[in-house]
Amino acid sequence: MSPPAFPASDDESVNSEAFRAVDRMREAMTGRATSGVSPNSLALALFDWSIHLASAPGKRMELVDKAGRKAVRLLTWLAASAAQRETPPCIEPLPGDYRFRAEAWRKQPFAFWAQAFLLNQQWWHNVTREVPGMAPHHEEVISFAARQWLDVFSPSNNPFTNPEILEKTFQSGGANFLQGFRNWFEDVGRLATGQPPIGAEAFLPGRDVAMTPGRVVYRNHLIELIQYAPATETVLAEPVLIVPAWIMKYYILDLSPQNSLVRYLVSKGHTVFCISWRNPTAQDRDLTMDDYRRMGVMAALDAVRAILPDRKIHATGYCLGGTLLAIAAAAMARAGDDRLASMTLLAAQTDFTEPGELALFIDHSQMHFLDSMMWNRGYLSAEQMAGAFQLLRTNDLIWSRLVHDYLMGERTPMIDLMAWNADSTRMPYRMHAEYLQRLYLDNELAAGRFLVEGRPAALQNIRVPLFVVGTERDHVAPWRSVYKIHLLADTDVTFVLTSGGHNAGIVSEPGRAGRRFRVATRRKDGTCFDAEEWALMADRKEGSWWEEWLPWLAGHSSPEPVPPPPMGAADKGYAPDADAPGTYIFQR
């Protein structure tokens, strides 16, 4: 007979919570020093790698063999280049690595240093990969950490081994270092005082960016809904509702007039509404994902439907906003809510089994660490999120800036997209914890286990046509992950793969040089191919994917244009208020 179980007393529960609070505070303080990266997560990966490598003599023998071969390869190339200056390099940088593209790197001894570094980088890739018995996630973490450490010692980052820096120093008499120090001092000062980067003041919302005319027609604690003024005599009957990500300010889709997606839609005869999210504070710590669905997507749909009765809506979601929109649409389909005419997802994931390099920062140890940091503040700060994104692209976002701004003494010209990227927001504690746990770790949405009001939100219930965009160089929502919507949706899916990254691939206005995309439609009863097969079969086109989306929207709209609708609906509680871009955009 088992002993009786005695419930914990209230005093014991309080004490247990107090002990847990001590751990949370310790982790929160540690997080300030590590930019939100869990040391325990890194230690677990290091231990997994080292113990399996130590017990794999065959792998170690292979690494010794590879080291010898690379040394012979380097020395053979060096001898050949001494006899023939035009000898091609023995190893080329990886795609997207532009550190050694200048012609000066072809001259000795700089060429030797660059080639030795690249071969060493390749060898360390072998060291951290395919270690027998190692967990795949730990393999990714160790390989990533090794790349970060190697980049510190890249000859491109050393003023004595970088020919471009040496040439600049010779030409300026060392003035580049003086100017670089001034640049560094200015950046440190701005960071310490919470000011935006130098040049960002030239892109003020409402004056230089986010300039499309409109009015705020609805506001609650979480969103402002902007209705944009018509620019044509007639419009398509069905409006477009844009749900942006709340990790950044909404105006990524309404930047400068020449690259504003909102302005482009309005100019082509669409009635456009867009959500502008509140920048949460510690008082908003208990906002949940369902609050974002109810007070965000559903409240906006209610407002649009009240302003335009009996008209269906083309719902469009970007990044996290697209994931939330997919959840809302699945719940609507389950409830028989047929207000949507179509759904467009821009760089938005619905299956998180392959979420890309962001998954490096999301495991159970890291999740507990982030949870403690958010518990302490009530939110995840913009600085902590920015640190993770910068680590994913250190060559582009950290080292190239160090070389260009501080060693060369030059300034990278500020552009609207860079200024927007610096205008970030916070993430409420409870919502972000739910998002990471339920989507990234447990993948509840793809598995059909994500509950909305106690019932599963199954994407298979969505029947409206889908237009889905992935970007080739997306480090936030890899296109192969975005493509998995084909495996989840039981409806027509038009998938577009466009050039560019997570932001620049979406902000891809017509007329921009070098733009291209691939597109194909899978009908509801059609065959589903894997991502690589799709990439080979899809139609290849030059130009902007915006020009592909426009006829698709028209094809799923009423054939007859209608007069532009009034601004808001005062008699229904949706009276026009502040001019676009509203007030939430200015919250700090």
Give tens-digit pLDDT for 467-498.
Answer: 999 999 888 899 999 999 999 999 999 999 99
The domain 214-353+443-586 is placed in CATH, from the list 3.10.20.600, 2.60.40.10, 3.40.50.1820, 3.30.420.10, at: 3.40.50.1820
Alpha-helical (H) ranges within 35-109 are 39-54, 57-83
> In the prediction, which pLDDT does 225 show?
98
Instruction: Provide Rg for the chain, Cα atoms.
Output: 26
The average confidence (pLDDT) of the chain is 89
User: Are the C-beta atoms of 271 and 235 separated by less than 8 Å?
Assistant: yes
Task: Look up residue 3 and give its DSSP letter.
Answer: P
Which residue has tokens 């509404």?
A: 273
SS3 243: strand
CA distance 259 to 506: 10
163 prior amide bond cis, ω within 30: no
CA distance 553 to 312: 12
φ, ψ for residue 248, nearest 5 deg: -140, 170
Six token digits for residue 215: 């009015």
DSSP run (H or E) holding 326: helix 320-335
Q: With 80 as the cut, is the pLDDT of residue 11 above it?
A: no
Six token digits for residue 336: 């028989």
Query: Residue ranges per domain, the chain?
Result: 39-171, 214-353+443-586
How much is the average pLDDT of 114-133?
Answer: 95
Q: With 80 as the cut, is the pLDDT of residue 69 above it?
A: yes
Which residue has tokens 């200024």?
A: 419
How are beta strands 466-471 and 493-498 bridged, if at all? parallel
DSSP run (H or E) holding 431: helix 429-434
User: Are the C-beta atoms of 351 and 445 separated by less than 8 Å?
Assistant: yes
Cα 307 to its chain centre, rounded Å, is: 33
User: Are the C-beta atoms of 354 and 480 separated by less than 8 Å?
Assistant: yes
SS3 205: strand
Residues with a known catalytic role: 319
CA distance 540 to 548: 12
Burial track 348-360 (b if 16+ CB lie within 10 A, e otherwise): bbbbbeebbbbbb
User: Are the C-beta atoms of 113 and 161 separated by less than 8 Å?
Assistant: yes
Six token digits for residue 146: 């090794």
Q: Which residues contact 338 (CB under 8 A, 6 or more apart)?
A: 312, 332
Give the CA angle between residues 329, 457, 385 to the nearest 5°: 80
> In the prediction, which pLDDT does 94 show?
85
Q: With 60 as the cut, is the pLDDT of residue 14 above it?
A: no
The tens digit of pLDDT for each residue in 524-558 reads 988 989 999 999 999 999 999 999 999 999 999 99
365 residue type, one letter: S
CA distance 459 to 493: 13
The tens digit of pLDDT for each residue in 165-193 reads 999 999 999 999 999 999 999 988 887 78
Q: With 90 as the cut, is the pLDDT of residue 393 above it?
A: no
Task: Look up residue 257 and give its DSSP letter.
Answer: G
566 prior amide bond cis, ω within 30: no
59 residue type, one letter: K
> In the prediction, which pLDDT does 4 show?
58
How are beta strands 379-380 and 313-318 bridged, if at all? unpaired
Taking the CB of residue 518, how many other CB atoms lie within 10 A of it? 20
30 residue type, one letter: T
Strand order of the β-sheet with 466-471 is: 214-219, 223-228, 272-277, 240-243, 313-318, 340-346, 466-471, 493-498, 516-522, 539-542
> In the prediction, which pLDDT does 192 show?
78
User: Are the C-beta atoms of 370 and 388 separated by less than 8 Å?
Assistant: no
φ, ψ for residue 38, nearest 5 deg: -75, 120
Q: With 70 as the cut, is the pLDDT of residue 413 above it?
A: yes
How much is the average pLDDT of 454-461?
Answer: 94
585 residue type, one letter: I
Q: With 90 as the cut, is the pLDDT of residue 344 above it?
A: yes
φ, ψ for residue 580, nearest 5 deg: -60, 145
